[in-house]
Amino acid sequence: MTSKALLEGGPDDLAGKVVPIVPPGQELKIPLRGGYEHYKMTSRHEDRQEGRVTVYRWWERTEVAE
């Protein structure tokens, strides 16, 4: 079974979404609009329709060099 993360904070189109944790780890890096949104794992969990998920909190955005 794939672990899932609940995204907290960051851009409105990502906040509140449940996404797979790939690869498993302490941080998530999600590509969005020419850059990456970075989320860090918290110690919190929530029970959602998808099951129990770990809450990941947004902490920065990096741009992709062109």
Can you tell me the distance from the alpha carbon of 40 to that of 60, in angstroms, rounded to the nearest whole number? 9
Global pTM value:
0.89
Kindly list the domain boundaries of the chain, sorted by start residue. Answer: 4-63
- Work out the mean pLDDT of the chain and round it to a whole number: 92
Taking only the tens place, the pLDDT of each residue in 3-14 is 999 999 999 999
Residue corresponding to tokens 């998530």:
28
- Strands of the chain, DSSP E: 4-8, 18-20, 27-32, 35-48, 51-63
pLDDT confidence of residue 1 = 54
